[in-house]
Amino acid sequence: MTPTRPLVALLSIVALAMGVAAWWATRESGFSIGPRPDRNLLLITIDTLRADALSSYGGAASTPRLDALAARGARFTFAHSHAVVTLPSHASLLTGTYPYRHGVRDNNGYRLRGDPPTLAARLKQAGFATGAFVGGFPLDQRFGLNAGFDAYDDRISEAAGSVDFALPERRADAVVASALEWSGAQSAKWFAWVHVFDPHAPYAAPDTFAARYPGNPYAAEVAWTDHALAPLLDRVAGMPRPTLVIVTSDHGESLGEHGELTHGLFAYESTLRVPLIVAEIGGGTRPARGVTIDSSVRHVDVVPTVLDALGLPPDASLPGTSLRDLVGRGGGDDRPSYFEAMTATLSRGWAPLRGVIVGRDKYIDLPLPELYSLERDPQEQQNVVTAGRARAEVLLNTLRAFNVAPPALPGEETSAVRDRLRALGYVGGSPAAPRDRYGEADDPKRLIEIDTLLHRAGDRYQNGRFKEAAAMFQDVIARRPDTADAYRYLAFVYWQTGQRGRAIETLEAALKQGVSHRDVRVKLGIYLAESGNAPRAIALLDGLAGDDIEALNALGIAYGQANRTADARATFQRALDVDATNALAWQNIGTVELRAGNRERAGDALGRAIALDNRLAGAHTALGVLLMESGKPAEAVEAWKRAVAADPHELDALYNLAVTLAEAGRRDEARAYAERYIALAPPEIFGRDIARLRSLLGSR
């Protein structure tokens, strides 16, 4: 008998079976989203991030931290936003509604109201601590996205707030540091929204990252942003409570495709398609096997997904649907998606751009309509609207199922305000309403040269080539007289180069031609106020300001110059009621109180302004005046030096330093500041001050 061999074989089979069982037990399961009320939520939005920019999407930038999330979560390859500029897109993402529902159609002149509620408001009601940390000015709390947040950190210096060609921002590492501090202090479940602005133009990554991507500054910004997010993701991964992480962008970047340099004009895939990654980390969660979802999904699906993932009741009024089942199945039915681009309509009078994506077909409704098969033509090079007329008609009817009424105008005013504008001689009265019909000449595709010219003129200004910039803006106005932002930019160039009269004349000419966009009117009011024409500024801005912080600050300045101190205080307080962290309003209160002789109140307000924004040169300048009047010249000099360090063009501080140091016998120091003042100050405005400095220092 030889029973040993069969027994050995049997043992081998048992061992093999046990090994297979062990392998299946340790193998990573596919990522899924189970309903779990006790998890945290981290929403990361990366401004201007193309869908194809990340490594996991085939991009040129190295993005290991975000790729790691995708490797253990769900990566959506066909996700779309609903707008191609920052504020409207984020409003859709945070409310789960389309732009025509929440009402925010552009970055300027709109404010999100209480209905529909934000995701933060919903989660706060459900017991979550809520915090937001943003890196770009378009998301300043003055625009209403702060609703529902316990903390809304938008500490972006307003020192550059008057610069029309570049939006104020703060670096991703500074945003992350603030988010780390807040999240680390939370003991209960929380929702944090972290927004980083760095990939937005102008592209200026730290030198070490810029050196890795010569000739591709956009990729350098993307790689830097991934690196900057690492400390936040590491901290969250080590927390005892699990955190659902959602990463997406508000829109992409054209990078010259279709003739568009950046974004905002068209809605091709380079700006409309966005990355979307959902993963869970921390709380001892085991790494899952990542899944890739090719089905069509939309930003309006994010809020329903969060409600579902957190075990909260669904909201049937929302147009989106949860992605939880889609992730579990690895795909599903495509979802039609509405999109729009309204900036050029609202600021230039060009044709409104709306469209719809159904399956892999995309229809763009313009005077020259477009139809693309994104499956066969992902770069949108072949417009097949003529050959595919029947399909185009189907998609057009789908689009009409959405709300395609003309957008509400930014900063719409009452009839009393329109009458006041007419009384001032501005026959246009109010912004031109969108027309019932637009022709081929109004199609953005026909006007791309003007958009390019506006960008190039802005570049000329940034490089100090002011005359060339002014000539280019004049050229735009000659070609397309209804381009509101060309008037505003031209006036800004004149203002910054000391041609204040021409700046005001440019804006007044726009109004008289019927180009009375909100930004034109507000900018004119600001320039009138700062030129000392307080009565005219008040007449223009009173009743127009509403809850527009820029207009309120301008109106308050005008009241102060008219010695209407009580009205100035009340107006600045209205600005603070909208945004309690508005450093400019506190600076302006301090200046008004200083002029009224209320030193204690002035010092308190200026201290608040500087605490909120230490780079606010005007606040340091006013504080220096207060210190000088209080008999503290040494401290005044230091305050003025801080002002000049914050803004080398702060003329009042330069002048005060030159005079004070000269009178103190510190002539060499005084001469340095005087020479800078004389080089910068327009002689036609500051001729007397220039003459005094030259006399004081014995120079020509």
- CB neighbours of 122 closer than 8 A, spacing ≥ 6? 148, 303, 307, 312
The dihedrals phi and psi of 677, each to the nearest 5 degrees, come to: -65, -45
**The tokens of 434 are what?**
């969108």
Q: Which residue has the higher pLDDT, 159 or 301?
A: 301
510: helix, coil or strand? helix
Looking at this protein, which amino acid is placed at residue 290?
A: G
Q: Taking 90 as the threshold, does the pLDDT of residue 17 lie above it? A: no
Distances in Å between the alpha carbon of 691 and those of 552, 640, 649, 675, 677? 35, 21, 19, 12, 11
- CB neighbours of 538 closer than 8 A, spacing ≥ 6? 555, 558, 559, 562
CA distance 313 to 39: 16
Q: Taking 70 as the threshold, does the pLDDT of residue 159 lie above it? A: no
Q: Which of 19-33, 450-464, 489-503 has the lowest mean pLDDT?
A: 19-33
Rounded mean pLDDT of 642-661?
A: 94
**pLDDT tens per residue across span 95-146:** 999 999 999 999 887 889 888 999 999 999 999 999 999 999 899 998 999 9
**The tokens of 487 are what?**
């008037």
pTM (2 d.p.): 0.87
**The tokens of 245 are what?**
């992480």
Question: Counting Cβ atoms within 10 Å, is residue 391 exposed (0-12), middle (13-18) or buried (19+)?
Answer: middle
**Contact by Cβ (8 Å): 87, 138:** yes
Question: Counting Cβ atoms within 10 Å, is residue 256 exposed (0-12), middle (13-18) or buried (19+)?
Answer: exposed
- CB neighbours of 611 closer than 8 A, spacing ≥ 6? none
Rounded mean pLDDT of 398-419?
A: 71
Confidence of residue 682 (pLDDT cuts 50, 70, 90): confident
In the block, tokens 């450093």 appear at: 583
**pLDDT tens per residue across span 525-563:** 889 988 889 999 998 888 776 788 888 998 999 999 899
Region 40-157+167-332: CATH code:
3.40.720.10
SS3 string of 481-494?
CCCHHHHHHHHHHH
**pLDDT tens per residue across span 563-587:** 999 999 999 999 999 888 899 999 9
Fold of the domain spanning 418-575: 1.25.40
Question: Counting Cβ atoms within 10 Å, is residue 382 exposed (0-12), middle (13-18) or buried (19+)?
Answer: exposed
The dihedrals phi and psi of 32, each to the nearest 5 degrees, come to: -145, 165
CB under 8 A, 24+ apart: contacts of 382-391: 391/361
Angle (deg, nearest 10), helices 599-612 and 617-629: 150
Confidence of residue 430 (pLDDT cuts 50, 70, 90): very low
422: helix, coil or strand? helix
Distances in Å between the alpha carbon of 367 and those of 259, 364, 388? 18, 10, 17
Secondary structure element (H or E) that encloses residue 298, with its range = strand 291-298
CA distance 393 to 369: 11
Whose CA is closest to 492, among 453, 515, 517, 520?
520
pLDDT at 418: 44
Whose CA is closest to 673, among 646, 647, 693?
693
In the block, tokens 């200004």 appear at: 461
Region 351-400: CATH code:
3.30.1120.10
pLDDT at 545: 66
CA distance 264 to 471: 24
pLDDT at 52: 96
697: helix, coil or strand? helix
Question: Counting Cβ atoms within 10 Å, is residue 543 exposed (0-12), middle (13-18) or buried (19+)?
Answer: middle
Q: In sequence order, what are the beta bridge partners of 361?
A: 358, 373
Q: Taking 80 as the threshold, does the pLDDT of residue 166 lie above it? A: no
Confidence of residue 22 (pLDDT cuts 50, 70, 90): very low
pLDDT at 69: 97
pLDDT at 222: 98
**Contact by Cβ (8 Å): 359, 391:** no
134: helix, coil or strand? coil
**The tokens of 334 are what?**
């495509």
Mean per-residue pLDDT over the chain, rounded: 89
**The tokens of 179 are what?**
């988010």
Question: Is it true that 351-400 and 418-575 share their CATH fold?
Answer: no
Domain limits of the chain? 40-157+167-332, 351-400, 418-575
> How many beta carbons lie within 10 A of that of residue 649, not counting itself?
13
